[in-house]
Structure 1
């Protein structure tokens, strides 16, 4: 695996390093030892799949409030999406900054999202699947969110206005420090 830290401290784009032959390829996509070498949290307690029927579906920006803040390790296993994270760690030098990365079944990239980040994505194809590994059990009372189009962050979504979005995601509050 190839670990590339993003401009947001502690967040990594992780690329598969496939070994190819006439059958196809084989690649490791999770290795506790390799993650620990980068001092990344390896406590995975739950795995989730998000299926998105239509191109232009937007989900986010979500996070779990302390003390239930969670690490997420996400990968597109079918289709394509634009994944966005916002650093919400008040003591971080990159507090309030965002970054985005295209995750596709072809590029096989994954995104490691540390605790204290908001996360969301916009699908770039119909029938897109996102696979999550998370470090905390989901707790309804700890759910939080920021509006996807909050002018404070000015996130540039590739498709722009979402074609499909839940009422909850449409109505998250604007961020207040």
Structure 2
């Protein structure tokens, strides 16, 4: 696993009414500071990649659908510099994923239904000075193959 990335398993409490799940708590210390919470929906097959931050950490949770999340360590001072990790998350694997600053990240929606992501950040978005650096989905340095491997 890329240095600094953390995964928290989400426990769902189910009954005949539905379910309840705690996502993030202040006593877990996953985020160094709360900036904002955002929700986004993407259609099946969509790839949203890559971007990274210099000042903020992200905490991702896919509330519906499923996604292939790709992380690439751009930081120069870690033991995992240049490493790529792939994490499958969503309805079939309900986890919370902490993505530290300096790690390029993106995802592809899997399956035949949209995916909804809820994410928390340590900084609020500033449209006049966004902390969002972009890389192409097919960036040659990352060199990730987004195609499904049929076996």
Cα distance in structure 2, aligned partners of 1:50 and 1:159: 23
2:51 pairs with 1:58? no
Q: Paired residue for 2:71, among 72, 85, 90?
A: 85
Give 1:26 shift: 3.6
Q: So what's the TM-score if we normalise by structure 2?
A: 0.83
Which residues of structure 2 form unaligned runs of 5+? none
Q: What residue is the counterpart of 2:115 in the other structure? A: 128
Deviation at 1:31, TM superposition (A): 1.5
Distance in 2, matches of 1:143 and 1:113, equals 13
How far does the alpha carbon of each residue in 1:22-67 deviate from its partner, in whole angstroms, 9 at most, with x for none? 5554432212212x2xxx43412111112112x21011111233xx
Question: Residues 106-128 of structure 1: CA distance to partner in whole angstroms, max 9, x if unpaired?
Answer: 32112111122111111113321
CA distance in 1, matches of 2:100, 2:70: 13
Provide the secondary structure at the position in 1 that maps to 2:40: strand
Contact conserved, 1:32 with 1:42, CA < 8 A, in 2?
no
Q: Is 1:151 aligned to residue 140 of structure 2?
A: yes
Q: Is the 8 A contact 1:56 1:159 kept in 2?
A: no
Q: CA deviation at 1:134?
A: 0.7
2:39 alignment counterpart: 49
Residues 84-139 of structure 1: CA distance to partner in whole angstroms, max 9, x if unpaired? 11112211111121211111123211211112211111111332111111111223
Question: Structure 1 residues 49, 19: closer, same or farther in 2, change over 3 A?
Answer: closer
Task: Give the Å deviation of 1:152.
Answer: 2.5
How much is the aligned-residue C-alpha RMSD, in angstroms? 2.1
Return the alpha-carbon distance in structure 1 between the equivalents of residues 103 and 53 of structure 2: 9
> Which protein has greater RCO, CA pairs closer than 8 Å, 6+ apart?
2
Distance 2:7 2:145 in 1: 19
TM-score (norm 1): 0.72
